[in-house]
Structure 1
Amino acid sequence: MTESLEYSDLLQLIDERSAAFRDAVAAAPSLDAPVPSCPGWTLSDLVQHLGTGQRWWAAVVAAGPAEAPPAKDAAEAPRELDALLAWYAESNELLLSALREVGPERACWTWWRAGVSPSNARGVARRRVHEVLVHTYDAQLAAGTVQPMPAHVALDGVAEFLDTCNSTPAAWPHEAATVRYHATEGRSWLLALDGTGAWPAPLPDDAAPATVSATGTAEQLLLFVWGRLTMSDLKIEGDRQVFERLIAWEPEE
């Protein structure tokens, strides 16, 4: 796993970003407002998605090591604003309470078991930080109140995405390639794609050029890997087709 924030910092960020999420929802003109970055979703759908996710991961963490996750709660969230915000705050506290109780090394089921990120409470906390971070952006976009992301959190978010979503032993079905992400804040990451799968890799000492590279702020890179921005929003050098193939790839493990 690449460098990560401390466990206590992750829990604090889940709390802080969730407060920012609730503020954005409260500032929106309506819960029926469309979420431009999540086509087909309203703001109400977004709150339901994130709150249900917090509750489910609380149950996953509490269950400990398991071959399969617990079933998701199919209950509908409240439809009235104050009740919905209270439901989401409760959802978030359920997750935080579970994470605090078990500690960072508690093993649990995760969908990224074959990747770099650990299948434990620390891995879950880190994933949920960035889930809330990006969905806060979505809510702010819907409300017309987009605020800059904390740079250090966005930096960790890029690394976490490579560790979790772009980390797989499924063979890359195209010619081997390397993808470099460079944040203008001074951090870079390399993703290697070949017959062994897709894995975050050390940056070469000779600074050899990657097959393709993307340069932008940490926030821009994070929103790009999460599908909120496109290549036109970044400085792209090299074979753009690698990014197109990576975005379209659905590996079978």
Structure 2
Amino acid sequence: MHNTPGFPDLLRLIDERSAAFRAVIASVPSLDAQVPTCPEWTLFDLVRHLGEGRRAWAATIAAGPEATAKSAAEGALPGSRERAALVAWLAASTEQLLAALREAGPDRACWTWWGTSQSPRTCGAVARHQLHEISVHTYDAQLTVGAPQPLPDDVALDGAEEFLSTCCTSTSAWPHEPAVIDFHATEGRSWRLSLSAGGVRLSRPDGVPADAAVRGTAHELVLTCYNRHPLDSLKLEGDRRQFDLLVGWDPNE
């Protein structure tokens, strides 16, 4: 696969994307606005999710490699909706996560929910996934206020690969007929999922035609993976049913 951002770059990008999220929260007229891409949530709910989630991951990382479950968040959400207090709480949440990651380093083992995927169960892999979760939620917030910004190119390209590796691969048997699905970013990078009784593995396309393929910008691919854009908004080739089967499959069941 391609070279993923180094650990220092991951921490820098987490900080940058978190700051972009806080900028929306600091300026939005109302925190009661519904988030179009998370329709069950308001912006205030998104603030709670992002802050508490980063604190829970900070605690999980700090618990060390022997932890067997995700830890509870530390540090309650402010009792009021006073904007400065919420923004400060979000900044502290990000710093807790970054401090825990710096202390642990990229290679230390860490509990994760992606047990049998191709992504390692390390603090470096946690940092990588955190970057992309924060980036997508920053897009959610920007969209809510009518000012969505494309994911930065380096974030989007890595985000597509990280999602496929972490959320789609598994050693669990694929319960349908074997298939090959390709994902093509118009920026010139491609990925292949091979689905079989031996599991689902991510690799580079090798010239053999795929059963199905999708093409779009890396930004579009990431947002489609996270159910922010409809699949039909991208260029589809081959058997569309393969995508439906993949979306409906839970490798952890």
TM-score of the aligned structures, taking structure 2 as reference length: 0.94
Q: Summarize the Cα distance change of 1:67–1:19 in structure 2 as closer, same or farther, 3 Å threshold.
A: closer
Structure 2 residue matching 1:179: 3-state secondary structure: strand
Q: Which runs of 4+ in 1 moved over 4 A?
A: none
Could you tell me whether the CA contact under 8 Å between 1:24 and 1:145 is conserved in 2? no
Task: Report what 1:106 is aligned to.
Answer: 108
Could you tell me whether the CA contact under 8 Å between 1:189 and 1:202 is conserved in 2? yes
Task: Report what 1:175 is aligned to.
Answer: 177
- 1:109-135 deviation line (CA, Å, top 9, x unaligned): 111121111111100100000011100
User: Alignment RMSD, CA only?
Assistant: 1.5
Task: Report what 2:7 is aligned to.
Answer: 7
Paired amino acid for 2:161:
A
Task: Report what 2:188 is aligned to.
Answer: 186
Identity over aligned residues, as a percent?
A: 53
Residue 226 (structure 2) pairs with residue 226 (structure 1): yes
- 1:153-204 deviation line (CA, Å, top 9, x unaligned): 1000000011111111121111111111100100000011111121102321
Larger RCO (alpha carbons 8 Å, 6+ apart): 1
Paired amino acid for 1:191:
L
Could you tell me whether the CA contact under 8 Å between 2:55 and 2:75 is conserved in 1? no
Report deviation, 1:61.
1.0
Give the unaligned 5+ runs of structure 2: none
Counterparts of 1:171 and 1:2 in 2: how far apart (Å)? Answer: 26
Structure 1 residue matching 2:118: 3-state secondary structure: coil
Q: Summarize the Cα distance change of 1:173–1:2 in structure 2 as closer, same or farther, 3 Å threshold.
A: farther
Task: Report what 1:65 is aligned to.
Answer: 65
- 1:187-243 deviation line (CA, Å, top 9, x unaligned): 000011111121102321xx2221111100000000011111112210000110111
Q: Which residues of 2 match residues 89-128 of structure 1 at below 5 A?
A: 89-128=91-130
Aligned length: 251
Counterparts of 1:43 and 1:23 in 2: how far apart (Å)? Answer: 13
Structure 1 residue matching 2:194: 3-state secondary structure: strand
Task: Report what 1:151 is aligned to.
Answer: 153
Give the unaligned 5+ runs of structure 1: none
Counterparts of 1:60 and 1:74 in 2: how far apart (Å)? Answer: 10
Deviates more, 1:153-162 or 1:60-69: 60-69
Could you tell me whether the CA contact under 8 Å between 1:179 and 1:213 is conserved in 2? yes
Structure 1 residue matching 2:164: 3-state secondary structure: helix
Counterparts of 1:126 and 1:251 in 2: how far apart (Å)? Answer: 21
Counterparts of 2:112 and 2:47 in 1: how far apart (Å)? Answer: 22
Counterparts of 2:28 and 2:90 in 1: how far apart (Å)? Answer: 16
Task: Report what 1:250 is aligned to.
Answer: 250
TM-score of the aligned structures, taking structure 1 as reference length: 0.94
Counterparts of 1:150 and 1:252 in 2: how far apart (Å)? Answer: 31
Counterparts of 1:195 and 1:29 in 2: how far apart (Å)? Answer: 52
